[in-house]
Amino acid sequence: MDKPKINISFTLIAAVVGFMIAIQFQTVKKPVERDTRDVWQLREALLKEKELQSNLLSEIRSNEEKLSAYESKRKQSKEQTLRDTLDELKMEAGLTEVTGPGITLMIEPVVEDIKLGYPVTKVVSPELLKRLVNELNMYEAKYVAIDGQRIINTTVIRDINRETKIDGHSIRSLPIEVNVGVDSINTAEKLSNRMKVSKSRDEFFTESLRLNVSEANPNVSIPAYDNPIRIKYMEPIKEGGGS
Out of 67-71, 74-78, 152-156, 214-218, which region has the weakest mean confidence (pLDDT)? 74-78
Report how far residue 75's alpha carbon sits from residue 145's, in angstroms, rounded to the nearest whole number. 38
- Asked if 97 and 221 count as a contact pair (C-beta separation under 8 A), the reply is yes
List the beta bridge partners of residue 146: 149, 178
pTM beyond cutoff 0.85: no
What residues contact 205, with CB distance under 8 A and at least 6 apart? 110, 211
User: What integer is the mean pLDDT of 70-88?
Assistant: 79
Strongest mean pLDDT among 84-98, 134-148, 224-238: 134-148
- Asked if 208 and 122 count as a contact pair (C-beta separation under 8 A), the reply is no
Q: Is 193 left (phi over 0), alpha (psi -120 to 50) or beta?
A: alpha
| pLDDT score of 83 | 82
| pLDDT score of 33 | 52
| 14-59 pLDDT, tens digit each | 665 566 666 655 554 555 555 555 677 777 778 888 888 888 888 8
The CA-atom distances, in angstroms, between 220 and each of 66, 212, 217, 223 are 46, 16, 6, 10
User: At 236, which amino acid appears?
Assistant: P
Q: Is 115 left (phi over 0), alpha (psi -120 to 50) or beta?
A: alpha
| pLDDT score of 87 | 83
Strands (E), 117-240: 143-146, 149-151, 157-160, 163-166, 169-171, 176-181, 209-213, 217-222
| Nearest by Cα to 98 from 220, 214, 228 | 220
User: What integer is the mean pLDDT of 149-158?
Assistant: 93
CA dihedral 4, 8, 13, 18 (to 10 degrees): 120
At residue 142, the 3 state secondary structure works out as coil
Report how far residue 95's alpha carbon sits from residue 227's, in angstroms, rounded to the nearest whole number. 9
List the beta bridge partners of residue 63: none
